[in-house]
A and B are shown apart, each in its own frame.
Chain A
Amino acid sequence: MKPSPLCILVLGGFLFLLSIQAQAADSKPPSALSPVEQALTHITSEDEAVRDAALRTITEQGDSSLIPRLEEIRANVDRSIRQAIKPVMDLLKNRAKLESSEADARRSAATDLGTSGKAVAIPWLDQAAAKEPNKWVRYTMEESAALLKLAGDDQVARLGAIEKLGGLASQNAVPALQEFVTVGTAAEATEAQQSLAKSAKASIERIETWAAWSNAIETMFRGISLSSILLIMSVGLAIIFGLMGVINMAHGELMMVGAYATFITQELFRAFVSPAFFDYYFAVAMPMAFLVAAGCGLVLEATVIRFLYGRPLETMLATWGISLVLMQAARVYFGDLTAVAAPAWLSGGVQVMVGVYLPNNRLFIIALSVVCVLAIYAILFRSTIGLRVRAVMQNRNMSACLGIPTRKVDAYTFAFGSGLAGIAGWALTLIGNVDPGLGQNYIVDSFMVVVTGGVGKLAGTIVASLGIGGLNKLLEPSMGAVYGKVCILVLVILFLQWRPSGLFAIKGRQADT
């Protein structure tokens, strides 16, 4: 069918009218509105060019007081416009956050701006960096500004940014710098691109050297952190082992008892003490954990261990039975998972250098292990009871002849060792959940520490836990956690070939102890 001429005429006339109307809407005479106000009205325009121009005006203005108005506009427009407005609002918000009083907010705003790719943000970041008091926030601001400059067209600014990022050892910049290198080394690269590539290469090298160092330091820290956990767990075990030749297989569950004591203290604080003092619960929980675990140890000694002296293997089995009972009791009573909220002053961390961030709770545990060891040394070597403990350790019969109540010393030592387990449990609540299996996580490792360290000398335990903890973290990145453990077991066995009774065995004439 052919369209009739009349039809075409009517349709054409209709279209013409429509276009006139559209032009009329566009060519509204400029009013007395300020450019920003005007832009705000233009934002909702159908025409993309107009809209973009409006958004650019608002962005350049950078006034965060516009956010509520933008919010309002967004509520009433369709999806494509909403999506166009969103990044502008984010930019404005982040700019406002750069002035925030909280360092973390300033820092995250700087990071966001850095990844936004908007060159507008460069002067904002530069201004903010100039008056920033916090070193690490300033670092992020400078890094973000340099990252944005990389995307620009200005050759000199780019070279400067590349240089700067190398100096900052910025890990985030590596992909972008890599891009420069690939572009600049291609056959058709211009001279400018080549010089950029050369500079980028140098910067990447600097960044990578720095990363290697910071990685090494972080690995070392992780190793020390694990070592200190092992040390806190093992000292109690080692003292009991040294004195009585007994490995207390319920040690892990005594730690669990300490952890639950912490949890209960927290719940009591939550229920009866005003929230203002809530954070003090953690300090109160420490003696609680020690006393409860020590009490458990005392009961354990009086009812079970006492009857098994001189039979270490049987003691191991009996204490393992007790550990089963304790674990199941916790499971039945507390259920499977309860968490302790770390006090505010222990959350967060410290940044010591670029790429190295040390969490506070780990630092706390390291400090605690040092304090524990010092306290134990003081007790063992500066007090009467310590003197007695050492005497019994060295020669039980002789000490008994000299009037030392060896059985009492045993009981107190066992309770003390158990109390140390309680403190270990208290500390472990900082880095994990409190659950009935808490004691099982590291316990075999700490047995290994005690065995490797040898009997009777604390130094052995310290060195062994440093060795096993450090090796664990050293092997983990290259071999994976499981094969690292396999490797450590093999190493321990080989080590015992050389020193069958551990690092620091007491020298003497006894062939069979």
Chain B
Amino acid sequence: MPENNHAHIRTEPALGLFFWLIGFVLLILMPLLNVLPAEDSWLHLSDFSLNRFGKFLAFAILALGLDLIWGYTGVLSLGQGVFFGLGAYCMGMHLMLTIGKESVYGSDLPDFMVWNQVKALPLFWKPFYSFPVAILGAILVPTAFALVFGFLAFRSRIKGVYFAIITQALALVAWLVFNRNETNLGGTNGLTDFKQVLGFRLAEPGTQRALYVLTVLCLGCAYLLCQWITNSRAGRVLIAVRDSEQRVVFSGYTPANYKLFVFVVAAALAGLAGMLYVPQVGIITPAQIGVLPSLEMVIWVAVGGRGTLAGAVLGAVSVNWARSVLTNYFPELWPFILGGLFVVVVLLFPDGLIGMMRKAKEQIRLVKATRVSQAELLR
């Protein structure tokens, strides 16, 4: 069996000028462009665009986690949408409860419960009145779930295709369960119609701007966390697991523990992403956590370039941007493009956009070098 073509190890570059530049643009410039220029100025960034971009950046957080588990460790999880959904539903439940009597039926209960003739708030909803519980839950519920699932899976050395299929089945089952009405999670329609978070109206552009800034900050922290992990000794072991698990075992490590760790981190990041996604988009339904969305998340990382953190972010933003533009103009075409993207990226550009950039840079350096040497020869 041919070895993985990622055999050579790359270390992430230290936090360069680039990181701070992108950070400046995302964190300061974009909100400023939203606030300062007049509405009709070409510099103006509309509320809608900023909000949409915030959504992409939330996805980027998830992509970072997926890159850790797939790009670095070589474990393909097709159930990342489940962890995203758990985080999103935790936050959604809190937002649902803060609607209070503003709801259509004017009841303290969420509308769908009135609709389903549920008389009292189910017990597991009650803690979500509290904002801190919702925040913690959005991270800890996916984490705990990943811990149990990952422990069982990695302990028995389920790997490769087997792991991918099992996680896909998990996504299918989660989708089925969230779709049921009797689980009291809103059924097919999911949770929506949120009004406020911590007393701030969600419809206000200011609230959305603050959420955007928060998302950028979270993304920055997630990036730093991932970089710290991948540059640590443990990060080296992860890459080693990807390239030859057997040798790692023979060297005295326990790959299962490393995999479990990184799987849990990825789940926590997915939960965080879900938590940030819900107030910005205003709805979470089972359709966003099933088999297909979970697979789409993988393509974000693949397009950006797996095994590089910048690639994950770049991929999540670019694929989602392309999606929102193309589904607007050519809704019939998008599945073709998405499917084609899978095939083309896997076949022709296994290192994604980042890989292409690196190659281009290499090419330019090569051209320059030949020119210099030619010039020297001529001299």
Interchain CB contact under 8 A, A489 and B169: yes
- What 0/1 readout, one digit per residue, does chain B (62-75) give for beta carbons within 8 Å of chain A? 00000000000010
Name the contact of B166 in the complex, choosing from A307, A483, A493 (C-beta under 8 A). Answer: A493
Which residues from A are CB-within-8-Å of B173?
485-486, 489
Q: Is B107 an interface residue (CB 8 A)?
A: no
Q: Is A310 an interface residue (CB 8 A)?
A: yes
Interchain CB contact under 8 A, A312 and B160: yes
Interface size on B, residues (CB 8 A): 48
Instruction: Using known A-B contacts A322-B343, A482-B180, A497-B152, determine if residue A444 contacts B246 with beta carbons closer than 8 Å.
Output: no
Instruction: Using known A-B contacts A317-B298, A332-B332, A485-B173, determine if residue A451 contacts B339 with beta carbons closer than 8 Å.
Output: no
- What 0/1 readout, one digit per residue, does chain A (470-513) give for beta carbons within 8 Å of chain B? 00000000000011011001001110111011000000000110
Interchain CB contact under 8 A, A322 and B339: yes
Residue of B nearest to A329 (CB): B336
- What 0/1 readout, one digit per residue, does chain B (143-180) give for beta carbons within 8 Å of chain A? 00000010011011110111011101110110011011
Interchain CB contact under 8 A, B342 and A310: no
Give A448 to B341 CA distance when docked, in angstroms: 26
B331 to chain A, nearest CB (A): 11
Interchain CB contact under 8 A, B165 and A511: no
B173 to chain A, nearest CB (A): 5
- What 0/1 readout, one digit per residue, does chain B (322-344) give for beta carbons within 8 Å of chain A? 00000000001001101111110
Scoring A317, A500, A511 by chain B CB atoms within 10 A of each residue's CB, the highest score goes to A317
Q: Is A320 an interface residue (CB 8 A)?
A: yes
Which residues from B are CB-within-8-Å of A314?
346, 350
B138 to chain A, nearest CB (A): 22
Give A501 to B165 CA distance when docked, in angstroms: 13
A454 to chain B, nearest CB (A): 10
Instruction: Using known A-B contacts A318-B346, A444-B291, determine if residue A489 contacts B170 with beta carbons closer than 8 Å.
Output: yes
Q: Is A316 an interface residue (CB 8 A)?
A: yes
Residue of B nearest to A397 (CB): B1
Name the contact of A448 in the complex, choosing from B155, B169, B298, B343 (C-beta under 8 A). Answer: B169
Interchain CB contact under 8 A, B346 and A317: yes
Which residues from A are CB-within-8-Å of B74?
313
Which residues from B are CB-within-8-Å of A447?
165, 168-169
Interchain CB contact under 8 A, A448 and B156: no
Which residues from A are CB-within-8-Å of B4?
311
Interchain CB contact under 8 A, A323 and B339: yes
Name the contact of B347 in the complex, choosing from A318, A486, A493 (C-beta under 8 A). Answer: A318
Instruction: Using known A-B contacts A447-B165, A489-B169, determine if residue A304 contacts B343 with beta carbons closer than 8 Å.
Output: yes
Which residues from B are CB-within-8-Å of A500?
156-158, 162
Which residues from B are CB-within-8-Å of A327?
335
- What 0/1 readout, one digit per residue, does chain A (317-355) give for beta carbons within 8 Å of chain B? 110111111011100100000000000000000000000
Instruction: Using known A-B contacts A309-B2, A313-B76, A482-B180, determine if residue A492 contacts B156 with beta carbons closer than 8 Å.
Output: no
Which residues from B are CB-within-8-Å of A245?
161
- What 0/1 readout, one digit per residue, does chain A (440-461) give for beta carbons within 8 Å of chain B? 0000100110110000000000
Residue of A nearest to B299 (CB): A317
Interchain CB contact under 8 A, B335 and A501: no
Residue of B nearest to A494 (CB): B152
Q: Is B351 an interface residue (CB 8 A)?
A: no
Q: Is A308 an interface residue (CB 8 A)?
A: yes
B150 to chain A, nearest CB (A): 11
Instruction: Using known A-B contacts A332-B332, A444-B172, determine if residue A324 contacts B350 with beta carbons closer than 8 Å.
Output: no
Q: Is B135 an interface residue (CB 8 A)?
A: no
Instruction: Using known A-B contacts A304-B343, A482-B177, determine if residue A316 contacts B153 with beta carbons closer than 8 Å.
Output: no
Q: Is B267 an interface residue (CB 8 A)?
A: no
Q: Is B295 an interface residue (CB 8 A)?
A: yes
Which residues from A are CB-within-8-Å of B86?
none
Give A437 to B157 CA distance when docked, in angstroms: 33
Which residues from B are CB-within-8-Å of A313?
74, 76, 160-161, 164
Residue of B nearest to A246 (CB): B161
Give A187 to B177 CA distance when docked, in angstroms: 50
Interchain CB contact under 8 A, B153 and A493: yes
Give A347 to B228 CA distance when docked, in angstroms: 65
Give A497 to B151 CA distance when docked, in angstroms: 10
Instruction: Using known A-B contacts A328-B336, A486-B177, determine if residue A496 contacts B342 with beta carbons closer than 8 Å.
Output: no
Q: Is A129 an interface residue (CB 8 A)?
A: no
Interchain CB contact under 8 A, A512 and B166: no
Residue of A nearest to B348 (CB): A307
Give A482 to B160 CA distance when docked, in angstroms: 27
A174 to chain B, nearest CB (A): 30
Name the contact of A316 in the complex, choosing from B164, B179, B246 (C-beta under 8 A). Answer: B164
A103 to chain B, nearest CB (A): 42
Q: Is B245 an interface residue (CB 8 A)?
A: yes
Q: Which of B280-318 contact A (CB under 8 A)?
A: 291, 295, 298-299, 302
Residue of B nearest to A324 (CB): B339
Which residues from A are CB-within-8-Å of B299?
317
Residue of B nearest to A327 (CB): B335
B330 to chain A, nearest CB (A): 12
Q: Which of A239-293 contact B (CB under 8 A)?
A: 241, 245-247
Scoring A241, A313, A328, A498 by chain B CB atoms within 10 A of each residue's CB, the highest score goes to A313
Which residues from B are CB-within-8-Å of A512?
244-246
B245 to chain A, nearest CB (A): 6
Interchain CB contact under 8 A, B347 and A307: yes
Interchain CB contact under 8 A, A304 and B347: yes
Interchain CB contact under 8 A, A496 and B339: no
Residue of B nearest to A482 (CB): B176
Name the contact of B152 in the complex, choosing from A450, A451, A493, A501 (C-beta under 8 A). Answer: A493
Give A435 to B213 CA distance when docked, in angstroms: 45
Which residues from A are CB-within-8-Å of B180?
482
Give A328 to B332 CA distance when docked, in angstroms: 8
Which residues from A are CB-within-8-Å of B302?
317
Residue of A nearest to B250 (CB): A511
Residue of B nearest to A328 (CB): B335
Give A324 to B335 CA distance when docked, in angstroms: 6
Q: Which of B42-89 contact A (CB under 8 A)?
A: 74, 76
Interchain CB contact under 8 A, B169 and A328: no
Give A447 to B356 CA distance when docked, in angstroms: 34
Give A188 to B252 CA distance when docked, in angstroms: 85
Q: Which of B330-379 contact A (CB under 8 A)?
A: 332, 335-336, 338-343, 346-347, 350
Give A512 to B246 CA distance when docked, in angstroms: 7
Which residues from B are CB-within-8-Å of A241?
161
Interchain CB contact under 8 A, B335 and A325: yes
Instruction: Using known A-B contacts A320-B295, A324-B342, determine if residue A312 contacts B332 with beta carbons closer than 8 Å.
Output: no
Name the contact of A444 in the complex, choosing from B168, B179, B350 (C-beta under 8 A). Answer: B168
B361 to chain A, nearest CB (A): 25
Give A511 to B244 CA distance when docked, in angstroms: 12
Interchain CB contact under 8 A, B168 and A325: no
Interchain CB contact under 8 A, B346 and A308: yes
Residue of A nearest to B1 (CB): A310
Residue of B nearest to A510 (CB): B246
Give A405 to B344 CA distance when docked, in angstroms: 28
Give A497 to B302 CA distance when docked, in angstroms: 30
Give A494 to B4 CA distance when docked, in angstroms: 30
Supply 10 A–B pairs (Cβ within 8 Å), ascending by A.
A316-B161, A317-B302, A318-B343, A318-B346, A321-B339, A321-B342, A451-B162, A486-B177, A493-B153, A494-B152
Given contacts A313-B160, A321-B341, A500-B162, 15 further A-B contacts (CB under 8 A): A310-B1, A312-B160, A313-B164, A316-B164, A317-B299, A318-B347, A322-B342, A325-B336, A328-B335, A444-B169, A482-B179, A483-B177, A485-B173, A486-B176, A497-B156
Q: Which residues of A contact B (CB under 8 A)?
A: 241, 245-247, 304, 307-318, 320-325, 327-329, 332, 444, 447-448, 450-451, 482-483, 485-486, 489, 492-494, 496-498, 500-501, 511-512
Q: Which residues of B contact A (CB under 8 A)?
A: 1-2, 4, 74, 76, 149, 152-153, 155-158, 160-162, 164-166, 168-170, 172-173, 176-177, 179-180, 244-246, 249, 291, 295, 298-299, 302, 332, 335-336, 338-343, 346-347, 350
Which A-B residue pairs are the 7 nearest by beta carbons?
Answer: A321-B342, A324-B339, A328-B335, A325-B339, A321-B339, A497-B156, A512-B246
